[in-house]
Amino acid sequence: MRQFMRVGVTLALIAAVAATALALVNEVTAPRIAAYELQVIQNALTEVSGGFEIGETRGAPDEASVREIHTLTDPSNSISGYILQLVGTGYGGEMTIMASYTSDGAVIDARLLANAETPGLGKKAESPSYMEKFKDTGSEQSVPVKKDELEKADADSISGATVTFSGIAKTIAYGSDFVKSLGGE
């Protein structure tokens, strides 16, 4: 009996000390991490705004895959587009994508934010140049969602990470349709 007590108490003590150490480190790092995450979103907003002013922020409607809506306004303060924070599914699970559209649903720019894609393959989608292939699609021309809808150089750039691509493309296409349904309001 005493033997079991000793084993249990030792293990509990080790766990308690470890938990305390983690709590202390978390205390120091948590504010910095939160500030960094906020900065990432702010940077992405400015990057995708395409020169428009970022207007009001609206909460999510009853849509599982649209998390936040920001309006884009021109100098005369009328709505000329939207930035959506979208949620899609990639190879590593959930991905957060920020995409901006003109009011008729054409993609201005997009960024892949939080994701769990494979480093070196799907993760490459985080680079701004990855989103070039979606620009200006969505209104007259549909958003490319399959590999054979891309030009050869673009198709090569997604090889090895087709699941990531199709996840991003479908999410961006969905956002485009969503913007169209807003009708410029």
Partner 1 sequence: MADERKLVLTRGIVKENPVFILMLGLCPTLGVTTQVINGLGMGAAVIFVLVFSNIFVSLLKNVIPNSVRIPSYIVIIAAFVTIVEMVMHAFAPAIYKALGIFLPLIVVNCIILGRAEAFANKNSVLDSFLDAIGMGVGFLLAVTLIALIREVFGSGTITLMAIGSFDGVIEIPLLYSYPVRILSLAAGALLLMGYLKAFFEWASARKRG
142 binds partner 1 (CB under 8 A): no
Site string for partner 1, 46-75 (x = CB under 8 A): ------------------------------
Q: How far apart are CA 96 and CA 167, in angstroms?
A: 11
| Least distance to partner 1, CB of residue 159, Å | 7
Strand, coil or helix: 117: coil
Q: Which helix (H) or strand (E) holds 110?
A: strand 107-112
| Calculated CA dihedral for residues 51, 126, 163, 82, nearest 10 degrees | -20
Strand partners, 118: none
Produce one character per residue of 1-23: b if its CB has 16 or more CB atoms within 10 Å, e if not.
eeeeeeeeeeeeeeeeeeeeeee
Which two three-digit tokens encode residue 132? 């070039």
Among 56, 119, 140, 153, binds partner 1 (CB under 8 A): 119
| Least distance to partner 1, CB of residue 119, Å | 5
38 binds partner 1 (CB under 8 A): no
Q: How many residues bind partner 1 (CB under 8 A)?
A: 30
Q: Which residue has the tokens 């003109």?
A: 102
Strand, coil or helix: 91: coil
Among 53, 126, 132, 151, binds partner 1 (CB under 8 A): 126
153 binds partner 1 (CB under 8 A): no
162 binds partner 1 (CB under 8 A): no
- Give every CB contact of residue 92 below 8 A, 6+ residues apart in sequence: 115, 116, 117, 118, 122
14 binds partner 1 (CB under 8 A): yes
| Residue number with CB closer to partner 1 (11 or 58) | 11
- Provide the binding-site residues for partner 1, judged by CB under 8 A: 3, 6-7, 10-11, 14-15, 18-19, 21-22, 25-26, 28-30, 32-33, 36, 92, 116-121, 123, 126, 159-160
